[in-house]
Structure 1
């Protein structure tokens, strides 16, 4: 599990503000499950999804997401992982491929988390932020993510990564505003996903 607790440039959980926030969220919680739920709900509800709220800047490093209180789904998953790791709860990264308009092309990757819970193992959660038509919750062992796979070219990739996908991080680093990011969301074909280790 050590790789799912590591500090990286993106998941900089040893940043003083992340440690402070992680301790505050965990205060009064008795179990890893309770801490994980509190961290999930805090990121889901307190960090604004960049395109929902039309907020800048584009954040990708966990401490920057916390500072600016905004991020795309990927960035929110980076902060959630950092808060969990700061509480010594293993956390990884998961991805789906989704239609942007639910009608087909164009497609985009969508990022969320897997949390290792002592009683059930890996549990997937999606802190992108709820809105009309999106209702993600923490209710193990039942999985309630933000989106369901509906089209043939969509996919729910099973791999749990210890680090965010480099192509996702680079896509965020290349943009500065929420609308630029919306026009340049990262995507990979299902064939490429097989080569990338996402898909069997």
Structure 2
């Protein structure tokens, strides 16, 4: 994993990771105490209670964490923004990481979350389950929805960003923009 920012940047609020919003704070107060129980409850909430826009057939593209929470829907990137907001609110270092899924004209960038537990980082995917895609919470291994490997059309980008990638934000901020097919 390659970190693109300073360590303290993986704890900060921003326009996309607006954990200072009272709705995010109110929701997070319902998660249990303790780093691992809290992180797991937040993960399961985002994965299970926030619908993935494409799976739900919902054209909305919220991108601020608070908007994702309010609307109850978001693309993988937006769901990642909300999960990172919950984590950072609790003082858990976290960032954004990406994969390219598919090949050629079918390729699309997929968003995940990198989380620091003790002295190591893992990549988790709060995208949401659907037939053929299953994710779960773990503290000791990466759990992406899409797994790279021989014969796979999945490419992991090694970078962990403190803020969402500009190509991702551009696609979310304007519904006329296509979803990114690469981060290059």
TM-score after normalising by structure 2: 0.89
Alignment partner of 1:130 is 2:129: yes
Structure 2 match to 1:61: 64
One of 38, 41, 50 as aligned partner of 2:53: 50
What does 1:91-110 correspond to in 2, within 5 Å? Answer: 91-99=94-102, 104-110=104-110
SS in 2 for 1:138: coil
Distance 1:140 1:92 in 2: 15
Distance 2:148 2:105 in 1: 14
Distance 1:66 1:78 in 2: 10
Figure out how many residues of one structure are paired with residues of the other and give that number: 177
Alignment partner of 1:22 is 2:28: yes
What does 1:110-149 correspond to in 2, within 5 Å? Answer: 110-118=110-118, 120-149=119-148
Q: Give the conservation status (yes or no) of the 8 Å contact 2:18–2:64.
A: yes
The alpha-carbon deviation at position 55 of structure 1 amounts to 1.8
Distance 1:160 1:57 in 2: 26
The alpha-carbon deviation at position 185 of structure 1 amounts to 1.6
Structure 1 match to 2:10: 4
Distance 2:143 2:116 in 1: 16
Structure 1 match to 2:172: 172
Pair member with larger Rg: 1
Structure 2 residue ranges without an equivalent (≥5): 1-6
Alignment partner of 1:72 is 2:75: yes
Distance 1:140 1:155 in 2: 22
Distance 1:73 1:153 in 2: 18
Distance 1:146 1:153 in 2: 13
Distance 1:54 1:69 in 2: 13
Q: Give the conservation status (yes or no) of the 8 Å contact 1:56–1:70.
A: no
Q: Give the conservation status (yes or no) of the 8 Å contact 1:22–1:84.
A: no
SS in 1 for 2:29: helix
TM-score after normalising by structure 1: 0.82
Query: 1:42-92, CA deviations, whole angstroms, 9 ceiling, x for partnerless residues?
Result: 100000000100124211010000000000000000000001111111110
